[in-house]
Chain A
Amino acid sequence: MESVGVVIVSHSPKVAEGAADMVRQMVGEEVPLAWTGGNPSGGLGTDVGQIMSAIDRAWSNAGVVVLVDLGGAETNSEMAIEMLPEERRGRVLICNAPVVEGAVVAATEAAGGSSVDLVRQTAEEYSAR
C-alpha cells in the first residue's frame, strides 16, 4: 500500500530541512517526504512554484499532506494546490498543526497506511491537544 506523502513548508529552509530530518530519523524512509523554504535570494519566504515541486516530489496516489508555518506559507500552499492538475488537487490537504510536531505525527500516521484524511486529522489532533 502506498503511504500518504508529507510536505514541509517553512519560511526558513533550515527549519524545513530540520523538520524533514526529524521525520526521517524518527519515522523512517517509507513515507514520501519533501521540504521547501526560503526565497530565491536566500532570505525568508515561501514560493508557490517551489511548493508545487515539493508536492510533486512527495507525491503519492494516496495523497499528500502539507505542513506550513506562518501566514504566507499557508497562502502560498493553498495557491500551489489550486494550481495542481485537477486530478491531484483534491488529494492534497493542508494541516492546521505546528510544522515540526505535525510533520512527525503525520508521517507516523502515514507510515501505517492511513488515508490522507486520517493523516491530517491526526496531525490536527496533536495540535488541538
Chain B
Amino acid sequence: MKNGVATETAATGAILIEHEVGLHARPSVKLTKLAKTFASKIELGLSGNGPWIDAKSIVKVMAFRAAKGSTLHFRAHGGDAHEAVAALVELVRRGFDEGHGGG
C-alpha cells in the first residue's frame, strides 16, 4: 500500500484489493456509500492515469468490476479530499469489513 499524497485540495491514494471476490456488488455499495459521505469530488481508477469513474455513482462503481489482485486508485478534489482518500483506502484494506465469500 502506498500512502495518500496530497497537493493543496487534491489527494490521491492506491491500494491492492485482497478481498476474495474483488469489488463486487456489496463492496461497491459500501465504497459508494462511504464516498458519498464526503463533499469532495472522488474518482476511482485501475491506474494512476485513469480512466477515472465517479466513486459516488453506484451504477458506475458496480460496472467497474475490479478483481482481487488489482490495484484501486483514488483521487479526490475538495475540502475533505485527504480524509476521503484515507477512509476509502482504509475500507479496501479492511476487506470491505467482510468475511470471505461475501459480495
Contacts and interface: CB of A to CB of B under 8 A. Distances in A.
B25 interface: yes
A28 B26 CA distance: 11
By DSSP majority rule, is chain A's interface helix, strand, loop, or mixed? helix
Given A112-B36, A129-B63, A122 B58 contact: yes
Contacts of B82: none
Contacts of B59: 105, 122, 125-126, 129
Contacts of A104: 25, 29
A26 B29 contact: yes
Counting chain A residues whose Cβ lies within 8 A of the other chain, the interface size class is 10 to 19
Contacts of A109: 58
A125 B58 CA distance: 10
Interface residues of B, number: 13
Interface string B5-40: 000000000000000000001100100110011000
B91 interface: no
Contact of B29 (A27, A113, A126): A27
Nearest to B28: A108
Nearest to B33: A111
Contacts of B57: 122
B61 to A, nearest CB: 9
B29 A108 contact: yes
Nearest to B34: A112
B38 to A, nearest CB: 10
Determine which residue in A26, A113, A129 has the highest number of CB atoms from chain B within 10 A of its CB, and name it. Answer: A26
Give me the 7 closest cross-chain CB pairs, A-B, nearest first.
A112-B36, A108-B58, A126-B59, A125-B59, A26-B29, A108-B29, A26-B26
Interface of B: 25-26, 29, 32-33, 36-37, 56-59, 62-63
